[in-house]
Structure 1
Amino acid sequence: MITLIHNPACSKSREALALLQSRLPAASLQVREYLQQPLDLVELKQLGLPARELLRGEPDGRDDDALLGAIAANPELLQRPIVIRDGRALIARPPELALTLLD
């Protein structure tokens, strides 16, 4: 199962979704619209990605826990799209990076 952390208003997220849909059976792709179903602090930590990479924009001087807390409280701060497979996660920017998790 592959999970796409997705924002339908984001062109890069839509591109990643289209790429995954063109290469995967529908049953093996789960799409989570994170503005409707935000990731909590535990889920953000489980991604295993640096907090500074998960944050859209420039991080201020806060530590990782503070940045992840800010993202959990304000999901619009989350960088996207994020693709997750078998416990591995990556930010698919450019969207073609999503395909690296298919191998």
Structure 2
Amino acid sequence: MIKIYHNPRCQKSREGLKILEESGKTFTIVKYLNQPLSKEEIEELLDLLDISAEELIRTKEKVWKENYKGKELSKEELIEAIQEHPKLIERPIVVKDDKAIIGRPPEKIKEIL
């Protein structure tokens, strides 16, 4: 099963979706802005990606700069920030079985297919 965490307003995410469509493989689209991820889902993504919570965050987003930049935050606090502001999630993320990858650049998605 392949799943893409997708933000339709993001160019890189749209490019990643196109790569999946062109692969001919069956996949599910998770529009995480419409349905924010639970704490458990975020922790699972972090485990699959094998990264820290900080590495999942888009630190150039306005909401990050205004509310969190320069603060010492625990993993729990970072996850709460992601839940409260899902646009902070790096994108796109593609999950296949027990592996995941952040599609930046989108061509990286081909590595997991």
Alignment TM-score > 0.5, same fold: yes
* RMSD, matched Cα: 1.4
Larger radius of gyration: 2
SS of residue matched to 1:17:
helix
1:45 aligns with 2:43: yes
Structure 2 counterpart SS, 1:14: helix
SS of equivalent residue, structure 1 residue 36: coil
Q: How many residues align?
A: 100
Task: State the identity as a percent.
Answer: 40
Secondary structure in 2 aligned to 1:80?
Answer: coil
Superposition pairs of residues 2-81 of structure 1, within 5 angstroms: 2-25=2-25, 28-47=26-45, 48=47, 49-57=51-59, 60-81=71-92
Structure 1 SS opposite 2:36:
coil
Partner secondary structure for residue 65 of structure 1: helix
Partners of 1:87 and 1:37 in 2: CA distance: 22
Provide the secondary structure at the position in 2 that maps to 1:16: helix
Q: Give the equivalent residue in structure 1 for 2:109.
A: 98
Q: Which runs of 4+ in 1 moved over 3 A?
A: none
| Unpaired runs of at least 5, structure 2 | 61-68
**TM-score, with length taken from structure 1:** 0.89
TM-score, normalising length: structure 2: 0.82
Q: Distance in 2 between matches of 1:77 and 1:5?
A: 12
Query: Residue 68 of structure 1: SS of its match in structure 2?
Result: helix
What CA distance in whole angstroms lies between the structure 1 residues aligned with 2:98 and 2:77?
Answer: 23
